[in-house]
């Protein structure tokens, strides 16, 4: 299985601390050595870093950790291959354009028979069930919403409903970002934390690396972080209920919806 990481904020924030924890699990503290990727939003566009190698030993991943890039929305992934060879085309997260913006998607699990799902104009580039499921999700969203519906409960409900439908084919933990929202679906295991004032010290679960968030934030900052497993050992993370979808916007949990 793979591991997911998402971040959604109300002020531009770097993901260095959380990404450092995820990268350790990409071939050093965990078996997810078959590729890694990171998408950082700037408005409606996403800057994408991908490699079909182990993040823990990657000079590019080290460069990202040493050169913070601030963003309001980020999605990251470390892969342990189950379907499809280890190639750049099969490395998460995947990106497609819909409604004049880039949508970013990363998946943990297996979707059986994903290639039988209609994808419309969203053709997969690689051979994973994950990318095919993403294309199928976008196809159904486009049919439902010819134009971007904005921050409306209708969009949130549609993502939850379609995610639940595709999820009936297997394990469909995913992160989906549209430039304004971070959607996080829990099928088996997913956790989140919202860091806000009063900020405290945090230590990575897999290494003695700590940060005092009070020194690098302001009292108005809110940062939502989603991860397959908690990344820190001294913070209280909330576990997801299988068959549910979280919606984050501006550093807040806006909704928890059934996704069955």
Q: What is the pLDDT of residue 26?
A: 84
CATH code of the domain covering residue 9 = 3.60.20.10
Q: What is the pLDDT of residue 31?
A: 77
Q: Which residues have a catalytic role annotated?
A: 2
Query: What DSSP designation does 67 have?
Result: S
Contacts with 67 (C-beta within 8 Å, 6 or more apart), sequence order: none
Measured CA to CA, the distance from residue 53 to residue 25 in angstroms comes to 13
What is the greatest pairwise CA distance in the chain? 51
Conformation bin of residue 95: beta by default, left when phi > 0, alpha when psi is -120 to 50: beta
Q: What is the pLDDT of residues 125-183, one digit of tens each?
A: 999 999 999 999 999 999 999 999 976 899 999 999 999 999 999 999 999 999 999 99
Tell me the pTM: 0.96
pLDDT score of 50 more than 80: yes
Q: What is the pLDDT of residues 175-230, one digit of tens each?
A: 999 999 999 999 999 999 999 999 989 999 988 889 999 998 899 999 999 999 99
Sign of CA dihedral 29, 30, 34, 36: negative
Measured CA to CA, the distance from residue 208 to residue 233 in angstroms comes to 10
Domain extent for 75: 3-258
Q: What is the pLDDT of residue 71?
A: 98
Tally of structural domains, the chain:
1
- The angle formed by the CA atoms of residues 241, 3 and 218, to the nearest 5 degrees, is 80
Specify burial of residue 235 (Cβ count, 10 A radius: 0-12, 13-18, 19+): middle
Measured CA to CA, the distance from residue 126 to residue 89 in angstroms comes to 5
């Amino acid at each position: 299985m793979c591991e997911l990481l998402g971040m959604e904020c109300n002020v531009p924030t770097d993901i260095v601390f959380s990404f450092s924890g995820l990268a350790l699990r990409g071939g050093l503290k965990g078996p997810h050595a078959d590729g890694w990727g990171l998408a950082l939003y700037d408005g409606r566009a996403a800057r994408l870093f991908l490699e079909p190698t182990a993040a823990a030993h990657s000079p590019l991943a080290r460069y990202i950790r040493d050169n913070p890039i601030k963003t309001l929305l980020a999605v990251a992934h470390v892969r342990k291959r189950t379907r499809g060879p280890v190639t750049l085309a099969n490395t998460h997260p995947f990106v497609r354009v819909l409604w004049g913006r880039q949508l970013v998607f990363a998946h943990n699990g297996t979707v059986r028979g994903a290639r039988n799902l209609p994808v419309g104009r969203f053709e997969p580039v690689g051979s994973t069930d994950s990318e095919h499921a993403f294309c199928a999700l976008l196809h159904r969203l486009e049919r439902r919403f010819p134009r971007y519906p904005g921050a409306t409960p209708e969009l949130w409900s549609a993502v939850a409903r379609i995610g639940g439908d595709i999820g009936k084919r297997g394990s469909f933990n995913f992160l989906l970002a549209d430039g304004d929202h971070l959607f996080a679906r829990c099928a088996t295991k997913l956790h989140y934390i919202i860091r806000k004032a009063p900020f405290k010290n945090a230590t990575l679960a897999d290494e003695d690396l700590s940060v005092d968030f009070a020194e690098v934030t302001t009292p108005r900052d809110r940062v939502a972080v989603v991860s397959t497993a908690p990344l820190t050992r001294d913070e209280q993370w909330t576990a997801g209920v299988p068959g549910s979808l979280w919606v984050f916007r501006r550093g807040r949990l806006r909704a928890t919806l059934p996704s069955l």
